[in-house]
Amino acid sequence: MNDGEAEPQPATTASVPRSRLGERARDLYQLFCEGEFLMTDARTAELSKLTENAYRDVNIAFANELSMISDGLDINVWELIELANHHPRVNILQPGPGVGGHCIAVDPWFIVATAPEQSSLIKTARDVNDSKPGFVLDKVVPQAKRINEVKVATLGLAFKPNIDDLRESPARQIVNRLADELPEATILAVEPNIDELPAELESRDNVTLTETETAIEQADIVLLLVDHNEFINLDASLLAQKIVHDTRGVWG
Burial of 38 (C-beta count, 10 Å sphere; 0-12/13-18/19+): middle
Write the DSSP string, 60-121.
HHHHHHHHHHHHHTT--HHHHHHHHTTSTT-------S---SSSTTTHHHHHHHH-TTT-HH
3-state secondary structure of 209: strand
103 counts as catalytic: yes
Of 180, 96, 174, give the one whose Cα is nearest residue 134.
174
The terminus-to-terminus CA distance of the chain in angstroms comes to 32
Cα 130 to Cα 8, 61, 180, 189, 195, distances in angstroms? 28, 9, 18, 21, 27
Residue type, 133: P
| Dist CA 15 CA 57 (whole Å) | 20
145 counts as catalytic: no
> Residue 37's beta-bridge partner residues?
14
> Residue 11's beta-bridge partner residues?
none
Q: Which of 33, 49, 145, 160 is catalytic?
A: 49
Q: Which of 103, 132, 151, 160 is catalytic?
A: 103
Q: Is residue 40 within a helix (H) or strand (E), and if so which, with residue range?
A: strand 36-40
| Dist CA 38 CA 30 (whole Å) | 12
Q: Which are the catalytic amino acids? A: 49, 103
